Amino acid sequence: MTYPGFPLDDSWIHQVFARNIAGGHGFSFNPGVPIAGATAPLWTLLLVPAWLLLGPITGGIASGMFAQWLALLAIYKLTEQLTNDRSLAFLASVLSALCWPVVWGALSGMEIGLYSALSLWGLYFYFKSSSLDDRYSYLSYFLFALAFLARPECGILLAAAFIHDLYTWIKSGYKKNIHWLIKLFIIAVIILPYFSFNFKTSGTFFPRTFSYKVQDQGLLASISEVNPKGIIKALTILPLHYSRLILYSLIKLNPVLLCAVLAGIVWVMKRASGDFSKRLFLILIVVLYIPILGSVAPAASPDYQNYRYITNLLPLFVTLSVVGILCFQEKKLGRIFLYSGAILISSMLLIKIIFALFGDYIIALTIQDPANINDEYLKTVDKFITRMLFDFAVILLLYLMAGFILTTGFWHRLINNRLFRSMVIALLILFSAGSCLYHSAVYATNVKNVNERNVDAAIFLRTLANESDIVAVNDAGAAGYFSSMEITDLKGIISTDITIEMVNDDSVAFEYLSRSKRVDYLAIAPDWFDYIPSRTDVFKEIASFITEKNLIVYGDTTRIYRADWTEIE
């Protein structure tokens, strides 16, 4: 469909950093200006040798493929450890390899394969450890800490391991403390430089990508601002909303996956090998990871940009699905489905009753400005809650139906038939392969979108560039790699002088540009802005770059403007 490239502009951001590091300019976007503009600094650093040896595109894709291959090996080992069955482990790894978001992530030039590999190997060694102070326990912490540098959301795994180990330590009466010092040392050595660099270059402990995308929406921001309403919202509404979104996402990804995953969860809790508390630890991660993500970093939906933020969970979902389909055969396990489904449906009904009686008060606890609460708003929220509970109820009814079938022993008789079992496995592989083939066109279209709207515009800018020219952009990646101009990022990711107020109100950004930083060119998607494109007295359009059948970038068009500030006092 297009010439080689990446399916996200963000991939080019990593390549700009890698090129500047390789060229001796430090961790910078505009050469020589240090900035914490990469959410995944470990991935950026690993791209440096790949960039030097293979160039940006081949280096980025080859690195992603290798990292994702390591993740597939990890899910094989983890599944084998849970089931003591190499055939099941092989099937889980094959189906994970054919899970289209996993393939998309491997070819994206992003950190997706890296954080998946580090997460899954960390879980494998955590399960393999037999005590709090053996080498596997320390290795798992080392990998979880590295995963945090590859994707900050992986801090959930690190925190979960720490809490589980604390529980195990208290329960066992184990008195030695040296293992805590070693683990804290491992975490500190890996993570403290990251926080230090972030704070030194951007004034916060997190990279600007996190600060500017999440802003004041999440739990951490609400706690730091001592915002009770924000805290309540982050602990209630946002996790529930993310849970609903992931249910939709799993159904879209594979309609068989959802109930099979639930069956796999029950089987792992009752029949899988290994310590029960660690099995519970794994299930809690699978169940709670996304609600916690919604609470702490609600910047996008769980399936945002082809699941790029939760790809490390998808092989775990696949493993649980395989286990649920092929191993879940006992009638009494089916009764667990029925009981838990009935409890969950009753809980949904109770939530609806509570909201009907106390909805006005609950909403008032989460809305910052009471003036925004009116009858129309209350009706809208009530519809949203009703729809969300209805979605959960439908899924739980399917869950109950699956439980009923399992209690009859019908599935037990079918799945133990060798021919039927082979047909099920073949259908799983064929469905995954077909879905992967279909989404290869999605990947190609994504690359085409970025090339036509971002890369071509940046190459055009390079034909105009003089040595001291500055261009203001909203997508910094390709522009930074190809334009040869200094970049001012109007979204604030790699420009420390652009404040959140400017990001939220581009008229304030315009005032800053006119007063302090008069750029020479503007390369933006007008859909991102309300005010700046209207200033035709300053910005004169000279070119536009349009992509059709847009599936990945926000806005179909990048417009290039030459700035003329002569009329501005």
Question: Taking the C-alpha atoms of 469, 545, 528 and 522 in order, what is their torsion angle to the nearest 10 degrees?
Answer: 20
Report pLDDT for 48: 97
- Separation of alpha carbons 529 and 524, rounded Å: 9
pLDDT in tens, 338-350: 677 677 777 777 7
Greater confidence (402 vs 96) lies with 96
- Separation of alpha carbons 97 and 432, rounded Å: 9
Report pLDDT for 248: 78
Report pLDDT for 330: 66
Report pLDDT for 13: 95
- Separation of alpha carbons 21 and 49, rounded Å: 10
Both structure tokens of 459:
């190459």
pTM of the model: 0.90
| Residue ranges of domains in the chain | 332-408, 443-563
Report pLDDT for 416: 81
Q: What is the largest CA-CA distance in the chain?
A: 83
Segment 70-86 mean pLDDT: 96
Amino acid, single-letter form, for residue 116: S
Segment 438-444 mean pLDDT: 95
The answer to which of 225-229, 309-313, 353-357, 560-564 has the lowest mean pLDDT is 353-357
Q: Is the pLDDT of residue 33 over 70?
A: yes
Report pLDDT for 41: 93
Q: Is the pLDDT of residue 369 over 70?
A: no
Report pLDDT for 210: 74
Confidence grade of residue 273 (pLDDT, cut at 50, 70, 90):
confident
Report pLDDT for 189: 96
Report pLDDT for 380: 67
Q: Is the pLDDT of residue 371 over 70?
A: no
Q: What are φ and ψ of residue 34, in 5° steps?
A: -60, 140
Segment 158-173 mean pLDDT: 90
Greater confidence (445 vs 255) lies with 445
Percent of the residues in the chain that have a pLDDT greater than 70, as a whole number? 87
Which residues sit opposite 472 in a β-bridge?
A: 488, 522
- Separation of alpha carbons 36 and 373, rounded Å: 38
pLDDT in tens, 446-495: 999 999 999 999 999 999 999 899 999 999 999 999 999 999 999 988 88
Greater confidence (279 vs 297) lies with 279
Distances from the Cα of 365 to the Cα of 71, 217, 225, 273, angstroms: 42, 15, 16, 45
pLDDT in tens, 381-430: 666 666 666 666 666 676 667 667 666 777 777 888 889 889 989 999 99
Residue of 124, 189, 191 whose CA lies nearest to 159: 191
The answer to which of 136-140, 368-372, 501-505, 511-515 has the lowest mean pLDDT is 368-372
What average pLDDT is seen over the chain? 88
Report pLDDT for 300: 77
Report pLDDT for 375: 63
Segment 486-512 mean pLDDT: 92
Percent of the residues in the chain that have a pLDDT greater than 90, as a whole number? 58
SS (H, E, C) 194-254: HHHHHHHHHCCCCCHHHHHHHCCCCHHHHHHCCCHHHHHHHHCHHHHHHHHHHHHHHHHHC
pLDDT in tens, 203-223: 778 777 776 676 667 787 788
Report pLDDT for 220: 78
Alpha helices in 365-499 (DSSP H): 375-408, 410-415, 418-450, 456-464, 477-482
